[in-house]
Amino acid sequence: MAKEVKFSLVFRDMWQSAGKYQPRVDQLVKVAPAIIRMGCFDRVETNGGGFEQVNLLYGENPNRSVREWTKPFHEAGIQTHMLDRALNGLRMSPVPKDVRKLFYKVKKAQGTDITRIFCGLNDPRNVIPSIQYAKEAGMIAQASLCITYSPIHTVDYYVGLAKQFIEAGADEICLKDMAGIGRPVSLGKIVAGIKKLKKDIVVQYHSHAGPGFNMASILEVCEAGCDYIDTGMSPLSWGTGHADIIAVQEMLKDAGFKVKEINMAAYMEVRTQIQEMCDDFLGYYIPDLNHINNSLLVKPGLPGGMMGSLMTDLEDNLKSLNKWKVKNGQPELTTDDLLIKLFDEVAYVWPKVGYPCLVTPFSQYVKNLALMNVMQMEKGKERWSMIADTIWDMILGKAGQLPGPVAPELVQMAKEQGREFETKDPQSYFPDKLDEFRKEMQENGWPLGEDDEELFELAMHPEQYRAYKSGKAKADFEADLAKRKAAKNAPAAGAEGPKSVTVQVNGVNYKVEIAYGDAVPAAAPAAGAAAPAGAGEDIVAPLEGKFYLVKDNSETPKKVGDTVQAGDTLGYIEAMKTFNAIRADKAGVITAILVNSGDAVEEDDVIMKMA
């Protein structure tokens, strides 16, 4: 009898792999019936990871989104699954234990059946507690092997890891080939090894198409006994996304596997709706290069789920760097120039920091470190001259045990800066905090939400949730979208275009200045910001991003009149999902703070003054 292979539509990951944002809840609810009518999916990926964070970034409640999005699939008998970053929950940074335990209770109550737990370090100390918390909440615990290709990450390494997860109670195993660089034959051997450990364990394979291996990999893992295959669909398949369901289904059918048929009329309906979502606003955040397969990705091994935001962010980094180059009489770089420099530097940095699997958040950390190196070296500065604290946490072992050794020059740098390598359980560094967040909600008069889901959102994404509640997140998003639409529809050379547009958010009008070509609109002073008349020296932004006085509520924000010592943290620039500390070069007194928390700043903008 032919072995049956079942399919999962990674709808959330399709969008994350293509661009920066996800569909709105009204769009999700509209497309769900057509996905169900396609008739070929036993599972749909509905939420998790960056999905719920981007809901907040454009001003939408992720709890409502998850509840309404999972409901039609449950009614149709289709399982829903989500992405879960183990110690980091749904965010880039580690999460307190009490917040992690609440996480699974909330997601189960909202309608998510399966949680795909992964740690980019493949550290069992991070994954095994999440297996236990998920099962206690009634969820199916799917433990992931984060796949990469290095001298350390062998077939035996992965089979041994799966053995630990199965013994800890994992219901299923996922081969999370997030960059699509797993070699097909080796992947087949890993699946065969897992099935030898436990014949009836469910194995699911997830891969991205970009480097070009994944169709061969899908065939190999199925021949070895894989049960579920993640797929995407047009117009978001291939490129930095996933193999299209049509090609995968036809390949496996020809190979003799039992697979479900595809209702092509429904497929075309879903395809049309996805294109309509792109035309509405999502397409403004999908770079053209992300539609193209690129074997250059084999070398840096960057994951497809990160490439969507990377290409969007790279536009801003390139503008910032070229602005500096023009100012200093140097030739400008093209996108391809910067991309190749970045890919080469990622390949250089990765072994130096101990071969973490390049998946969130460690893919961002390695990529950010590489990009900072490139930016600094292009300006004549030293490599490693700017390393964010969260990246140091990874290097020092605070986020978990690195698979390989750290390079001697980084060990020496840590020693010079008084940083110590850690060996304790990573969770021990992040104490419980739910009571603090519950108190904040009570003080603000914010409801805790059904099943404490609003409390969970604040605890999981503090800064983003506060910006969502204040309306700032939606205002910033609407302003940015208006600029992108205006730029895409820029007037022909010599023609006169609008100099500004007005967007309305929650009944409040926001005026957005528009620049064409190289023109730069005059920046309006931030509302409520201190006057730039403070005495002393300028403190400038070291890079482009969003300025924050603190990165979480455990810190006390600096204020005018505070005395600081050399090395003290003045604030942070959040760029590329990482908080980069701005430190005082010398002792002094803060005489002015010229931007508000959450304001966008460009490199070399004056953000404070000190005397």
* C-alpha angle 113-118-123 in degrees, rounded to nearest 5: 140
Angstrom distance (rounded) from CA 222 to CA 446? 49
Domain boundary among 470, 489, 510: 470
In a domain? residue 437: yes
* 249 occurs within a structural domain: yes
Task: Say yes or no: 460 and 580 in one domain.
Answer: no
In this structure, the answer to whether residues 448 and 567 fall within a common structural domain is no
Do residue 547 and residue 463 come from a single domain? Answer: no
Kindly state whether residue 544 falls inside one of the protein's structural domains.
yes
Alpha-carbon Rg of the chain, whole angstroms? 24
Q: pLDDT for 185-227, tens place per residue?
A: 999 999 999 999 999 999 999 999 989 999 999 999 999 999 9
Question: If we measure between CA atoms, which residue out of 250, 251, 233, 229 comes closest to residue 241?
Answer: 233
Higher pLDDT, 88 or 308: 88
Q: In which domain, by residue range, is 153 found?
A: 1-470
* 420, 444, 470 - which closes a domain: 470
Q: Are 65 and 30 in contact (CB under 8 A)?
A: no
| Domain count of the fold of the chain | 2
Sign of CA dihedral 392, 398, 399, 401: positive
- Which pLDDT tens digit goes with each residue over 136-174? 999 999 999 999 999 999 999 999 999 999 999 999 999
Whole-model pTM above 0.75? Answer: yes
**Domain-embedded: residue 341:** yes
Exposure string (b/e) for 14-35, b if CB count within 10 Å is 16 or more?
A: bbbbbbbbbbbbebbeebbebb
Residues in CB range of 96: below 8 A, 6 or more apart: 430, 431, 432, 433, 434, 459
pLDDT tens for 434-451 read: 999 999 999 999 999 999
Q: How far apart are CA 439 and CA 214, in angstroms?
A: 48
Average pLDDT over residues 339-368: 90
Q: Is 84 within a domain? A: yes
State the helix-helix crossing angle for 453-460 and 97-110, rounded to 10 degrees.
130
**Residue 359's pLDDT band (cuts 50, 70, 90):** confident
**529 is a domain residue:** no
Verify that 384 and 289 share a domain, yes or no.
yes
Structure tokens at 388: 């964010």
Domain final position from 418, 449, 470:
470
Q: What pLDDT is stored for residue 73 in this prediction?
A: 98
Backbone dihedral angles phi then psi of residue 512, each to the nearest 5 degrees: -115, 120
